[in-house]
Amino acid sequence: MSGLADFQNSIYLQGLGDVLPPLPTDLTRLEGLAERSLSARAFGYVAGSAGTEATARANRAAFDRWRIVPRMLRDVAERDLSVTVLGTPMPSPVLLGPIGVQSIFHPDGELAVARAAAVEGLTMVLSTASSFGIEEVAEANGDGPRWYQLYWPKDRELAVSFLERAKTAGYTALVVTLDTFTLAWRPRDLDQAYLPFLRGIGVANYFGDPVFQKAVGGPVTEANRDMALLHWVANFGNPSLTWDDLIFLREHWDGPIALKGIQHPDDARQAVDAGMDAVIVSNHGGRQVDGAVASLDALPGVVEAVRDQATVLFDSGIRTGADIVKALALGARAVLVGRPYAYGLALGGQAGVQHVLRCLQAELELTMALSGAKRPDELHPEVLLRA
């Protein structure tokens, strides 16, 4: 037993004393609860996706088209969910994906998430657009494993500064998000004229950066704040980047690099050719291209293209342990959780995030065992059937 499923037993045992879990254990129920506790703007920001949200729905529908085929009598008494990804040992193949502006969900934002991740021993991927700074979050994360997600700004000197700060603060792998050099058409935010950054949320890493400050003529104060925000808007993303620019990243980051937002097999091959260590199959939770392919449907093609030349990770639509089993069976080495932990944060701060992480891992372990798998590497496409 790896002990992850013990979480289930502990909940049942609490029932002896009439104690109930703090939040629902079916994590798909958290969105509805978060809607009641968050402001309309914050809820629209996290729950919303691009356009008609067809891709967000497709992400979920794709999981439903695969079904697990349970196997019997395979001695699954000793289970071990641990994996090592890009040099980071993990108790289970679950990471906390990068989510920006977390203080709109809870005042402790990324600090609470960093503490929750550290307690669970799971890897946190910190967004460039975090509400707390790279260094502050690292401190809250302590000895916990952490990776840094880069939004690659136009100003190269600023990019280098981010990378150096992340390295110094103990982030061991770099995730470069390619699918969001500009925010997409997001009606929920547009209808509420809501962009957290323009309210000064999610810009901590920029405003606190010496290179950024130099560009806006000194530390950001009331006097130059609007100018600083406009500089942020102008610098956030760079639509003219090409595959050749990855050489620049290699020069300035000596650890492993994962490209996030890959959906096409040819892009995956180009990532391998560029010497990247990993690709993250993701469509940003349907938040970027409405009408885009479901991320799970893109996964097998990328796995086939990459073979064993790079690590393949997955996100977009993970809500349950069974979803994780499906993504692993289709070839992902590990998955990134997105909205579910943001809802946990909104509903219960650090404890809410821990609840989400424990539920996911416990359900993953139980589902694997009941399907005849002791370890993640025992999951293969043959575990699944098309519905």
Ligand X SMILES: O=C(O)C(=O)c1ccccc1
Q: Which amino acid is at 232?
A: W
Closest CA to 369 of 70, 59, 34: 70
Which of residues 30, 101, 158, 276 is near ligand X by CB under 6 A?
101
Give the residue numbers of the binding site: 45, 98-100, 127, 149, 151, 177, 186, 260, 282, 284, 287, 315-319, 338-339
CB of 100 to ligand X, least distance (A): 3
With CB under 5 to 8 Å by kind, the binding choice for 46 among ligand FMN, ligand X, none is: ligand FMN
CB of 196 to ligand X, least distance (A): 7
Q: Are 296 and 322 in contact (CB under 8 A)?
A: no
Give the residue numbers of the binding site for glyoxylate: 45, 151, 186, 260, 284, 287
Contact between 133 and ligand X by CB under 6 A: the answer reads no
* Paired tokens of 267: 């892009």
Question: Rg of the chain over CA atoms, in angstroms?
Answer: 20
Q: Which residue in 231, 252, 264, 284 is the catalytic one?
A: 284
With CB under 5 to 8 Å by kind, the binding choice for 133 among ligand FMN, ligand X, none is: none
Name the burial class of residue 226, with classes exposed (0-12), middle (13-18) and buried (19+) by CB atoms within 10 angstroms of its CB.
exposed
CB of 335 to ligand FMN, least distance (A): 9
Q: Is 7 or 45 the residue whose CB approaches ligand FMN more closely?
A: 45
Q: Is 76 or 342 the residue whose CB approaches ligand FMN more closely?
A: 342
Which of residues 44, 51, 145, 202 is near ligand X by CB under 6 A?
202
Distance CA 1, CA 295 (A): 32
Q: Are 77 and 5 in contact (CB under 8 A)?
A: no
Q: Is 7 or 148 the residue whose CB approaches ligand X more closely?
A: 148
With CB under 5 to 8 Å by kind, the binding choice for 350 among ligand FMN, ligand X, none is: none
- Would residue 106 show up in a list of annotated catalytic residues for this protein? no
Length of the chain as a residue count: 387
Q: Give helix then strand counts, H and E, for the chain.
A: 16, 12
Contact between 238 and ligand X by CB under 6 A: the answer reads no
Q: Are 202 and 129 in contact (CB under 8 A)?
A: yes
x-marked contacts with ligand X along 269-288 as a string, rule CB under 6 A: ---------------x--x-
Contacts of 127 (CB under 8 A, 6+ apart): 98, 99, 100, 110, 149, 151
Query: Contact positions toward ligand FMN, by CB under 6 A?
Result: 45-46, 97-100, 127, 129, 149, 177, 260, 282, 284-285, 315-318, 338-339, 342
* Paired tokens of 138: 């690292």
Alpha helices, DSSP H only, in the chain?
A: 6-14, 30-37, 40-47, 54-64, 109-120, 134-141, 156-168, 187-191, 204-207, 210-215, 225-235, 246-252, 265-273, 295-306, 321-329, 339-370
With CB under 5 to 8 Å by kind, the binding choice for 358 among ligand FMN, ligand X, none is: none
Distance CA 34, CA 286 (A): 19
Phi, psi of 71 (to 5 degrees): -120, 150
CB of 129 to ligand X, least distance (A): 3
Give the residue numbers of the binding site for FMN: 98-100, 127, 149, 177, 282, 315-319, 338-339
CB of 236 to ligand X, least distance (A): 7
With CB under 5 to 8 Å by kind, the binding choice for 144 among ligand FMN, ligand X, none is: none
With CB under 5 to 8 Å by kind, the binding choice for 367 among ligand X, ligand FMN, none is: none
CB of 170 to ligand FMN, least distance (A): 19
* Paired tokens of 36: 């009641």
Contact between 129 and ligand X by CB under 6 A: the answer reads yes
Active site (catalytic) residues: 284
Which residues of the chain form contacts with ligand X (CB under 6 A)? 100-101, 129, 180, 183, 202, 284, 287
